[in-house]
Amino acid sequence: MAATLITGAAVWDGVSDRAVPQQLLVVDDRIQRLAEAVEAPAGAEVIDLSGHTLTPGFIDCHTHVTLTPQVGPAMAADSSVARALKSLPVLRALLGNGFTTIRDLACGDSDYPTIALRDAVAAGTIDGPRMLVAPHMISARGGHGDFSGMVADQYQGPSRPLELAAADGDDEIRTRVRQEIRAGADWIKFAATGGFASPSDDPGHATYSQHEMDVLVATAADLDVPATPHSYGDEGIRRAIRAGVRSIEHGNLASAETLRMMQDAGVFLVPTQYVVLSSARREENDPYWDTVSPSLRRKFRRYRGALVDAAERLAASTVRIAFGTDAGMFPHQDNWREFPMMVSTGIAPVRALRAATSVAAELLRLDDLGVIAEGKIADLVAMPGDPFTDIAVTGLVDFVMKGGVVHKHPAGCRGA
């Protein structure tokens, strides 16, 4: 029996409005005791986290561990094996940031490297957050998952590799969903609208019909796998809600009416604000725009004001927000920056923290995670300072425990 007693920290349980001084005893992979004072059993390691806030392990509900900026033709530069190997330090960095669980929502490969990575983490072969995986993003041709427009036809093979998981019409859609689940998918992801990074579409345009979305989500539901769409604009979001999705990814152009529809349906929103607002807030003459594709610059020029306005609407709403970052569209080690970005739009720090803990766990149906309570899995992180008054300390995580195993110690925190 391995036992660890954590003392000195202000403990936030993932639900309450504030943190309180408590001690916490972990035995093996579970939280055994939580109280003002806990007696350490013989042989227990004692970890003093004075000056820290202890929270449940963070959950990032939208990552791409095998992708790096820029997407597009660069996806064809490495083999699937090379990308999987390059993701190993990515997984360690995410865990070091305090993210003990992630949901990976699509790779850039025709095979299934994120499934192999998920299973290797679960087996203890590699270090990283536990993973839930949607291997690919199912997309209409010409939609957000179809990057073939970046490469001239004469350079593409007969399989059109940059189409990845393209599927049109009932039969193709059903087949693709079933292939993803046969390979081991935990989630099904699809493109309900266009996006910013892809060449041939528009973030505000729905790219699947209502009937096609109904078929896609129902096919997954028959096999008890939840579905979630990439979706920016109103019409795509509304069609996806009607089809029965569990969450909406992005939703950064949603109107107040669509947010109310989401709320009434009990659908979660994963807003990934850092990746869009860090661009939308840049001035027109910012040198950054010289480094991106003309199509990306054109889309942000069109939608920048709407993106900022929609973020304020979300903060004023009561939609259930789950934390997600789109890491991979920007450097993975910066995924913590989603916290201060959310707060900068008017989202309260406690709402942002719940989004990355208890609400995220509820979205992902991980009943043993996301909260600090007796009997729950010991996924714990700590940071110096108080994130309720300074959300930026979420970027200073220096203690990480996943399943009762300490992966990161702050200097000098060990006790007897």
What is the DSSP code (8-state) at residue 62? E
CA 164, CA 236: separation in Å to the nearest integer? 21
Position 199 scores a pLDDT of: 75
CATH number for the domain harbouring residue 28: 2.30.40.10
173 & 30 share domain: no
Count structural domains, the chain: 2
Is there a domain that residue 262 lies in? yes
Helix (H, G, I), strand (E, B) or coil at 151: coil
Going from the C-alpha of 118 to that of each of 114, 125, 327, 381, the distances in angstroms are: 6, 10, 17, 21
52 & 64 share domain: no
Structural tokens at position 206: 């729905």
What is the DSSP code (8-state) at residue 73? G
238 & 358 share domain: yes
Position 141 scores a pLDDT of: 84
Structural tokens at position 104: 């990976």
Q: Using 70 as the pLDDT threshold, list the residues of the chain that sit under it.
A: 70-76, 145-164, 412-416
272 & 383 share domain: no
46 & 174 share domain: no
62 & 83 share domain: yes
CATH number for the domain harbouring residue 232: 3.20.20.140
Q: HSE (CB half, 13 Å, CA atoms) of 333?
A: 7
Position 74 scores a pLDDT of: 59
Is there a domain that residue 239 lies in? yes
Position 146 scores a pLDDT of: 65
Q: What are the residues whose beta carbons fall under 8 Å from the beta carbon of 182, sequence distance 6 or more?
A: none
Domain of residue 73 covers 58-364
pLDDT tens-place string over residues 378-414: 999 999 999 999 999 999 999 999 999 999 999 765 5
Question: Contact at 8 Å (CB) between 27 and 288?
Answer: no
102 & 14 share domain: no
Q: Give the pTM.
A: 0.94
